[in-house]
Homo-oligomer: A and B are copies of this chain.
Amino acid sequence: MTKPLKIGIAGLGTVGGGTLKILNEHAELLAARTGRPIVVSAISAKDRKKNRGVDISKIRWFENPLDMAADADIDVVVELIGGADGIAKTLVEKALENGKSVVTANKALIAHHGVTLAKIAEKNNKILAFEAAVAGGIPIIKALRDGLAANQFKRVMGILNGTCNYILTSMAETKRSFEEVLKEAQKLGYAEAEPSFDVDGIDTAHKLAILTSLAYGSMPAIDKIMVEGIRHISLSDITFAAELGYVIKLLGIAAQTPQGIEQRVHPCLVKSHSPLGTVSGVYNAIFIEGDAVGNMFFEGRGAGAGPTASSVVADIMDIARGVNYKPFTLPVAELQQPNFSGIDNLRASYYLRLSVSDRPGVLAEVTAIFRQENISLQSFLQPSHHAGDVAQLVLTTHETGEAAMQRAIKTISALESIKEPPTMIRIENL
């Protein structure tokens, strides 16, 4: 058997602990599957004494993770500290520069600095692997890079943030408001005290930027993503969507369009019985349309110690087997900076909820505006039960242009009979 692959783990939080556990409990299995023992040679974390269920007293301890980047007895640095900048970035840079391969679960780091880091990895002929950065346990990076690599991709779209999916699922199941469910999610540890990263779609955007890069051979372009979160989704929207046969999901969507590559993160109405529509709770899922393979669907746990560590260890095993790939599949020099199509070019169907004065004639005013913009309506709901003199009006459109829809919404918003800003949600057909 060849000599052991020596690992240095930086960061022993949830994922670091999970990684240590797998490497420890499955040591024999992993060695058999890769043909090479995988040994944890060093660890660096905040608190050496915290009980992590694994005896780490015999493993070398570094107070400063950066010292691991220079350690002669480490082949692979596993970065599980997190954060786009700061010590995580420095650690990965130094490790690659010192001829070590790097495995990371850090989506912010890869989305923002992936190209810089990939250059260093290439120059030193080392692996920079980040399967765990997107969709936790789902091996979607490897699928795009290996299993589905023969395809040109028409669309890659997914539920990439478990916190948002938990909140939206729970709102629907327990008929509660966004605020109430968010509070509960925070208590349960599914959402952070400062939830913006998740509920405003930023985390999804980081992951989408990585998927787009792999699917389209482009540099990750987080600044070219239209991002909308889920704070404005009300229980009413979820209820009306259900009446129309839909559920509401926060999706990250990348697609090849005639105007360029489209990247957008926003809540969508998707058919309740479509693959993405059935994904509930903290699960993640990805739907891919390839020119050869057709439709392909992956579903699994998007976070947590086990699933994320499953992907971290899979990357380590790849390195143990001596894989040879570029971080973004293509060499950095060949990565494109393509045209990105703006949201104005989008063609979609739309859901629109209006809070209107409860008097005759409002619907006529609204439909006249749609007619002006050449938008044709597909369905219409006007529930009889409502509070006071404000009624709800729910409309869905056939496929139309985003720009026309935005103009229509602006004109509608200015009507005297409109009592609150309209809620618009795009409909995504799978």
What B residues does A32 contact at CB under 8 A?
217, 330, 334
Q: Does A30 contact B (CB under 8 A)?
A: yes
Q: Contact between B294 and A137 (Cβ–Cβ < 8 Å)?
A: yes
By beta carbon, the residue of chain B nearest A145 is B33
By beta carbon, the residue of chain B nearest A300 is B296
Question: Which residues of chain A from 345 to 387 have any CB-CB distance to chain B below 8 Å in the complex?
Answer: none
Contact with B along A160-174 (1 / 0, CB 8 A): 000000000000000
Q: Does A321 contact B (CB under 8 A)?
A: yes
Residue in B22, B150, B313 whose beta carbon sits within 8 Å of that of A310 in the complex: B150
Q: Contact between B26 and A152 (Cβ–Cβ < 8 Å)?
A: yes
What B residues does A296 contact at CB under 8 A?
137-138, 298-301
Question: Which residues of chain A from 259 to 303 have any CB-CB distance to chain B below 8 Å in the complex?
Answer: 273, 275, 278, 290-301
Q: Contact between B292 and A310 (Cβ–Cβ < 8 Å)?
A: yes
Contact with B along A228-261 (1 / 0, CB 8 A): 0000000000000000000000000000000000
Q: Contact between A148 and B294 (Cβ–Cβ < 8 Å)?
A: no
Q: Does A329 contact B (CB under 8 A)?
A: yes
By beta carbon, the residue of chain B nearest A316 is B150
Task: Please report whether the interface of chain A is mostly helix, strand, loop or mixed according to DSSP.
Answer: mixed
Most B C-beta atoms less than 10 A away, residue of A142, A292, A306, A325: A292
CA A323 – CA B151 in complex, angstroms?
19
Residue in B147, B307, B318, B329 whose beta carbon sits within 8 Å of that of A143 in the complex: B147
CA A66 – CA B148 in complex, angstroms?
30
Most B C-beta atoms less than 10 A away, residue of A34, A149, A314, A326: A149
Q: Contact between B278 and A329 (Cβ–Cβ < 8 Å)?
A: no
Residue in B33, B138, B278, B325 whose beta carbon sits within 8 Å of that of A321 in the complex: B325
Question: Which residues of chain A from 324 to 338 have any CB-CB distance to chain B below 8 Å in the complex?
Answer: 324-326, 329-331, 334
A121 CB to nearest B CB, Å: 14
User: A: which residues have CB within 8 A of B?
Assistant: 18, 22, 26, 29-30, 32-35, 131, 137-139, 142-143, 145-152, 217, 273, 275, 278, 290-301, 304, 306-307, 309-314, 317-318, 321-326, 329-331, 334
